[in-house]
A and B are shown apart, each in its own frame.
Chain A
């Protein structure tokens, strides 16, 4: 299947700092990527939909000024957690859809990025 890579795999930061997580589609172009968050022992929760060349669409309850999403190219989307706090500690996962429009097929997921805010 298609490969989606996230970086970093894990990161520890101090409270108040910002952290950037990258999501890359390695062998295909993705006009749409999705960002999820997963707290311990819970399911994945969709945070936002990242569209290449346009603004991201955020789910209800997700602060767009806190979780900045940039999808500058067809193979890269970034999620920046600004002014991180301990409650932002979570497992962040991106996914990308193969294809540019029309039928989309399955979504492929990155390995996830574990953020710990001290």
Chain B
């Protein structure tokens, strides 16, 4: 079973920041938080990942709470093309089959004009 909890759906106005929350209260010390998104009928796309510190890249920012029990993915200026299902996944980072991704239901983000 997925080890994360996300809201089923969210709406966001185009041009505004989209803040997607994720709860992972049972996260282990060696587990990273990963975010992927899936646009309809496409394969998942990697967005960002982190362990303890906040992370930022060209796509998004990841804010992880100090106790690591929750995190927030921030899309700073959402566009219509950001409409997708966003998956928050916790996973260890080492070789072998344990490094696979277990997907939950994700959050369906709808960006509206």
- Residues of chain A having any CB pair with chain B under 8 Å: 1, 4, 6, 32, 34, 36, 43-46, 49, 57, 91, 93, 95, 97, 99-112, 114
Contacts and interface: CB of A to CB of B under 8 A. Distances in A.
B46 A44 contact: no
Interface of B: 2, 34, 36, 38, 41-46, 49, 87, 93-97, 99-106
B61 to A, nearest CB: 16
A108 B105 CA distance: 19
B contact face: mostly helix, strand, loop, or mixed: loop
A101 B44 contact: no
Given A34-B100, A101-B95, 12 more contacts: A32-B95, A34-B101, A43-B2, A43-B106, A44-B44, A44-B101, A93-B43, A100-B95, A103-B93, A104-B94, A106-B49, A107-B101
Contacts, number: 67
